[in-house]
Amino acid sequence: MNATPAFSPPCGPITGWRDGDVVRATGIPYATAGRFQPPASAPDRTEVLAATSLSPACPQGPVPFLDDILGTRYGELPGSEDCQRLSITMPADLAGNERVPVMVWLHGGSYTSGSGDLAIFDPGPSSLKTGSSWCP
pLDDT at 129 over 70: no
* Position 56 in a domain: yes
Q: What is the mean pLDDT of residues 101-129?
A: 74
Q: Number of structural domains, the chain?
A: 1
Reported pTM: 0.80
Name the phi and psi angles at 29, rounded to 5: -70, 130
pLDDT at 47 over 90: yes
* Position 62 in a domain: yes
Q: Residue 51 has what pLDDT? A: 96
Q: Please give the residue that has the higher pLDDT: either 124 or 111.
A: 124
* Position 50 in a domain: yes
pLDDT at 55 over 60: yes
Q: List Cα–Cα distances, 92 to 13, 23, 25, in angstroms.
A: 19, 5, 12
Domain span including residue 113? 6-130
- CA–CA distance, 117 with 89 (Å, rounded to integer): 11
- CA–CA distance, 123 with 37 (Å, rounded to integer): 31
Q: What is the mean pLDDT of residues 114-125?
A: 80
- 49 touches 80 (CB < 8 A): no
